[in-house]
Amino acid sequence: MAQMIQMSTEQLQQLIDSVRTSATSSAAAASAAAAAQTSLKSKGSFSNCPSRFGGQRDHEAVEEFITSITTYKEIECITDEDALKGVSLLFYGLASTWWQGVRKEAKTWNDVLSLIRDHFSPTKPSYQIYLEIFEKKQDEVTAIDTFVCQKRALLAQLPDGRHDEETEIDLTYGLLNIKYRKHIARHDFKTFRELLEKGRIIERNMMEDLNQTEFRGPIRGVRGTKRCTYCNFRGHTSEQCRKRRNPDGRPRDSAPAVGAHEN
């Protein structure tokens, strides 16, 4: 049978203080553990970063590399000081040799990014970017998504504020293949998103029409590539020609007289 324990007011107060002290110690320990974990994260490095740069002089490759390592640095909580020390791990080949010669010029993390851009992707003059934009029109096989993406990437290299979206659309629209401009009038859309949506619909319709044409075979009234050398009609070959066969089904050797099939 359980026994009742009687405590004085002083003893009860001591017990409460003891419980509070224990709880405070546990919270402090948990806080210290969290701080230690945060400290470990802050000591991250680029050793496990999957992005590497070999020194290719290509604007898209440089920007992709910079975006990748910047994102990795933020996720891993790498400080600017540690990033500056470990950035050499990301270079190989020509880029590694180049970094050995310019690393003393980099005092901050932003200096690193600026040096990479200045050396491997220097800013092009505007006239050269315009030449690249108008150098090539959309061909028959390039999808509208790919073509518009390429042109917008070039337009993005122009100085900030050079063109608004409407002007950029005008520049791009004139370079589209005629099969899109036939069905999409310039006044039918106001944004690149609307243009791409309409372009995709046209591509799907053309693909569906092509599949149906191949399924149905030659269409009457449409000039095909096959022409019979025996009767001179289109749509079949001489081996398939019915007029060339004898009543017993064997093919005839001689060609018909001129105009024989025009009775």
Q: Classify residue 161 as left (phi > 0), alpha (psi -120 to 50) or beta.
A: left
Confidence bin at 88 (pLDDT 50/70/90): very high
Q: Band of the pLDDT at 227, cuts 50, 70, 90?
A: confident
Look at residue 116 in the predicted model and tell me its pLDDT.
Answer: 93
Q: What would the mean pLDDT of 60-64 be, rounded to a whole number?
A: 89
Q: At 44, is the pLDDT very low, low, confident or very high (cuts 50, 70, 90)?
A: confident
Distance (Å, whole) CA 114 – CA 102:
12
Mean of the pLDDT values across residues 99-117? 92
pLDDT bucket at 73, cuts 50 / 70 / 90: very high
Structure token pair of residue 106: 């980099």
Where helices occur in the chain by DSSP H, the ranges are: 9-42, 59-75, 80-86, 94-102, 109-120, 126-135, 144-155, 165-173, 178-181, 192-216
**Which two three-digit tokens encode residue 242?**
């019915």
CB atoms within 10 A of CB 237: 11
User: Do the beta carbons of residue 129 and residue 158 sit within 8 Å?
Assistant: yes
Average pLDDT of the chain?
81
Return all residues near 195 (Cβ < 8 A) that are at least 6 apart.
Answer: 144, 148, 169, 172, 173, 184, 189
* Number of C-beta neighbours around residue 90 at 10 A: 23
Within 13 Å of residue 11, how many CA atoms lie on the same side as its CB? 4
Mean pLDDT lowest among 11-15, 34-38, 62-66, 205-209: 34-38
37 pLDDT higher than 60: no
Alpha carbon distance 107, 105 (integer Å): 6
Give the pLDDT confidence score for residue 11 in this predicted structure: 67
What confidence score (pLDDT) does residue 243 get? 72
With a CB cutoff of 8 Å and minimum separation 6, the contacts of 197 are: none
Residue 259: pLDDT band by 50, 70, 90 thresholds? very low
Report the range of poorest mean pLDDT among 39-53, 88-102, 109-123: 39-53
Percent of the chain with pLDDT over 70: 75
Q: Is the pTM of this model over 0.75?
A: no
Would you state the pLDDT for residue 70?
Answer: 94
Question: Is residue 189 within 8 Å of residue 166, measured between CB atoms?
Answer: no
**pLDDT for the residue 221:** 52
Please say if the pLDDT value at position 170 is more than 90.
Answer: yes
